[in-house]
A and B are shown apart, each in its own frame.
Chain A
Amino acid sequence: MLESYIQHQRKQKDILLMTHIVVGYPSLDDCEKIVHEMVVSGVDIMELQIPFSEPIADGPVILRANQMALEEGITVADCFDFAKRMKQKYDIPFLYMTYANIMHKYGIHQFVSRMVQDGISGSIIPDLPPEEGMDYITTLKANSCSPIFIYAPTTSDERMSMLSQHGSGFIYCVARKGVTGAQTNFSNDLDTYLNRCRAATNLPIALGFGVKDRADIEFLTGKVDIAVIGTQTLKIVEDQGVTAVGPYIRDLR
């Protein structure tokens, strides 16, 4: 189970790293190389984003990656095959990140069967709150997969505990308002918010949105269980190429 894996890893590491790729961007071959670089450099969990044509929670960089992957003809079936291969090669948890329609169109039950068959540990669906996703939650949980819910600074304490009850694996705390890819100010304000998150759940907590360098990771160490690096690795790949990913990850902690 995802949660016990995280607890186990945390005994050895002060903070875990979760990274993100958009499957098919820049290409499936490059994605494979990126996953390799990430895993051998010590990444603990990976998010594989199945591209969607209308990714409303994503900022310009990830949005464009979604579009380019789709223009290259990436299908949901391609993403499943890719995830399956990665899981066979690398023994870390992989999660799907995608939007509600991708799962809805495939059929929630069929989608979750594929996750189970291919060894995918859980999923993050930013436009599927528990109010709309009871079927999703029960199906994942019944199959020992984790529905991962999101906290935002605008989430009330009461709502945080509700989300915690429905979630499993860990809670993904977004550091600020807005979409992926913008700057985050790692400051005391964030501490107050993280204390609220901690108090609301017994699940491990991850923090994402704007995490990009060693200083950010140092700031987060001791405060959260997992740091999430999203847009920054896409930028590294775009600016410096696939081989720059390994050194970048190794330099984070």
Chain B
Amino acid sequence: MKQEGYYDDFGGVFVPSLLSERFNQKGYYNEFGGAFVPEVLTATFDELNIAFDEAKKDPQFWKDYANILQNYSCRPTPLTFAENLTRHFGGASIYIKREDLNHTGAHKANNVLGQGLIVKRMGKQRVIAETGAGQHGVATATMAAKFGLDCTIYMGEVDVERQRPNVFWMERLGAEVIAVRDGTRILKDAINAAFRDWVTNMDTTHYVLGTACGPHPFPEMVSTFQSIIGFEARRQILSQVNQLPKRVYACVGGGSNALGIFLGFVNDPDVELIGVEAGGKGLNTGYHASRLCSEDASVGIAQGYKTFFLQNTDGQMRETHSVAAGLDYIGVSPILSSFHRSGRIHFTAATDTEVIDALTLAVQKEGLIPALESSHAFVQAFKDAPHLSKHDCIIINQSGRGDKDIFTIADAFDDPKWKSFIKEKAEAYHA
């Protein structure tokens, strides 16, 4: 669905207006961010900073970016009016930004294709990435296949288990998937493992970080590429209903899909921005991944940047929990920490059970299958919608599609037909 000129203002006008000097001083967002990197990587970060700065100023780069997102991924993604859900709740009109329709099934493609173009400019031949839900891993493996790059994906052993369909596809796409057995064996440990690879292989290799975290310039670079979501969503809602939304909802893992959509509206003071973190088994149980809306997090420095982390009083990172692998993470984008502190973005949490319920409702009422991660945003929107005026509209960012979660969701429903199918399959492999 190529639309000539649709993105003309993106790289030249919109992006420079986002994280301008007013806000971003050498990778700091108020007191958060920075680049706490081992000496051996400082030259690599200098190289990346230069490459990204040059790309940002190059109109041809933004043309290439728009082109690949339109013709290879599926941009602009629609903003769907959820008529049945709106009627069901009887309050604000509910609109859903369809990042699930990106190629590879999540917003991750926006970032990965952008970084892929940077990799080409730097002339590196290999990419590595961490992945939690596996969506970023699949997107990176896909980009590597398309651009002819070698690819290694680090994934915590626990996540390899719970997101098996994505592991299958990464390997088919030619990536090497390494199951990380250190620490808590989830997303943070995959990030550490990717850094350890990078400090050895930086000459040939670029680390495609998958979220708006890590050392500068990653938070800025990733949120810049993701801001195409908000750039589109703002235009779409204005052209579809001729008004700005009352509220915008997004789930928050590292924070890339949330920043992606929120950055489209940060300069509209009347639009309330709501980030939904993983409430796991409940904020008072200790089994969650809520950094900004729980009392369990404090400011710290890890994985190369300063932000709110779930850590103990000694500064050791705590175990986290979420039904959604992509939200099951100790840290959060320094840019979000800054907006949290300033009060511009409000944060809440959704529990695992609420998430399954919201997902079920979205499937039944709209025929949409949001990822477990994205379903967190639906939970809070569903809580709020009935209390808002019929004249208001709200937007939910559906960051990805839920196909990858088939095993987890089948378990949650204790689906008897699925279970017997799996049993038969297993027996057939045994024979």
Write the residues of chain A forming the contact surface with B, with a CB cutoff of 8 angstroms: 52-57, 59, 63-64, 67, 70, 75-76, 99-102, 104-106, 126-129, 131-132, 149-156, 159, 163, 174, 177-179, 182
16 sampled A-B residue pairs with Cβ under 8 A? A54-B188, A56-B38, A56-B192, A56-B195, A57-B38, A70-B316, A101-B301, A101-B311, A104-B300, A104-B301, A151-B39, A152-B38, A154-B39, A154-B40, A178-B40, A179-B199
The answer to whether A101 and B300 touch across the interface, beta carbons within 8 angstroms, is: yes
CA distance A151 to B35 in the complex (A): 17
Q: Does B55 contact A (CB under 8 A)?
A: no
Given A67-B182, A132-B35, A179-B200, A174 and B316 contact (CB-CB distance below 8 Å): no
Interface string of B307-341 (1 = CB under 8 A from A): 00101011111000000000000000000000000
The answer to whether A54 and B302 touch across the interface, beta carbons within 8 angstroms, is: yes
Q: Does B44 contact A (CB under 8 A)?
A: yes
The answer to whether B192 and A131 touch across the interface, beta carbons within 8 angstroms, is: no
Given A53-B183, A129-B39, A100 and B44 contact (CB-CB distance below 8 Å): no
Interface of A is mostly: loop
CA distance A159 to B199 in the complex (A): 18
Min CB distance, B371 to chain A, in Å?
27
CA distance A182 to B40 in the complex (A): 15
Given A53-B317, A54-B188, A159 and B42 contact (CB-CB distance below 8 Å): yes
Q: Which residue of B lies closest to A128 (CB)?
A: B36
CA distance A99 to B300 in the complex (A): 11
Which residues of chain B come closer than 8 Å to A102, judged between CB atoms? 314-315
Given A52-B315, A75-B314, A104-B315, A174 and B40 contact (CB-CB distance below 8 Å): yes
The answer to whether B195 and A131 touch across the interface, beta carbons within 8 angstroms, is: no
The answer to whether B39 and A126 touch across the interface, beta carbons within 8 angstroms, is: yes
Q: Which residue of B lies closest to A160 (CB)?
A: B39
The answer to whether B42 and A56 touch across the interface, beta carbons within 8 angstroms, is: no
Q: For chain B residues 21-67, which have a beta carbon within 8 Å of chain A?
A: 34-44
CA distance A178 to B200 in the complex (A): 4
Chain B contact-residue range equals 20 to 34
CA distance A159 to B44 in the complex (A): 13
Q: Does B286 contact A (CB under 8 A)?
A: no
Q: Does B196 contact A (CB under 8 A)?
A: yes
**Quick one: which of A100, A106, A152, A182 contacts B36, CB cutoff 8 A?**
A100
Q: Does B294 contact A (CB under 8 A)?
A: no
Min CB distance, B330 to chain A, in Å?
8
Having A54-B317, A104-B300, one finds 13 other A-B pairs with CB under 8 Å, namely A54-B188, A56-B192, A57-B199, A67-B182, A75-B314, A104-B315, A105-B298, A127-B37, A127-B301, A154-B43, A154-B202, A174-B39, A178-B199
The answer to whether B300 and A105 touch across the interface, beta carbons within 8 angstroms, is: yes
The answer to whether A154 and B303 touch across the interface, beta carbons within 8 angstroms, is: no
Interface of B is mostly: mixed
Which residues of chain B come closer than 8 Å to A127, judged between CB atoms? 36-38, 301, 304
CA distance A102 to B183 in the complex (A): 17
Write the residues of chain B forming the contact surface with A, with a CB cutoff of 8 angstroms: 34-44, 182-183, 188, 192, 195-196, 199-202, 298, 300-304, 309, 311, 313-317
The answer to whether A56 and B196 touch across the interface, beta carbons within 8 angstroms, is: yes
CA distance A178 to B36 in the complex (A): 16
The answer to whether A177 and B38 touch across the interface, beta carbons within 8 angstroms, is: no
Which residues of chain A come closer than 8 Å to B36, judged between CB atoms? 100, 127-129, 132
Which residues of chain B come closer than 8 Å to A153, judged between CB atoms? 40
CA distance A99 to B311 in the complex (A): 14
Q: Which of A101, A102, A163, A179 has the most CB of B within 10 A?
A: A101
Which residues of chain B come closer than 8 Å to A100, judged between CB atoms? 36, 301
Min CB distance, B201 to chain A, in Å?
8
Q: Which residue of B lies closest to A59 (CB)?
A: B196
Min CB distance, B31 to chain A, in Å?
12
Q: Which residue of B lies closest to A56 (CB)?
A: B195
The answer to whether A105 and B35 touch across the interface, beta carbons within 8 angstroms, is: no
CA distance A44 to B311 in the complex (A): 35
The answer to whether B42 and A154 touch across the interface, beta carbons within 8 angstroms, is: yes
The answer to whether A105 and B192 touch across the interface, beta carbons within 8 angstroms, is: no
Given A53-B183, A57-B38, A127-B38, A156 and B314 contact (CB-CB distance below 8 Å): no
The answer to whether A54 and B303 touch across the interface, beta carbons within 8 angstroms, is: yes
Min CB distance, A72 to chain B, in Å?
13
Given A101-B300, A132-B36, A155 and B43 contact (CB-CB distance below 8 Å): yes
Min CB distance, B315 to chain A, in Å?
3
Min CB distance, B179 to chain A, in Å?
14
Give the 3 A-B CB pairs with smallest separation, nearest first: A105-B315, A152-B40, A178-B200
Min CB distance, A104 to chain B, in Å?
5
The answer to whether A106 and B315 touch across the interface, beta carbons within 8 angstroms, is: yes
The answer to whether B39 and A149 touch across the interface, beta carbons within 8 angstroms, is: yes
Min CB distance, B166 to chain A, in Å?
24
Which residues of chain B come closer than 8 Å to A76, judged between CB atoms? 314-315
**Quick one: which of B200, B201, B316 contacts A52, CB cutoff 8 A?**
B316
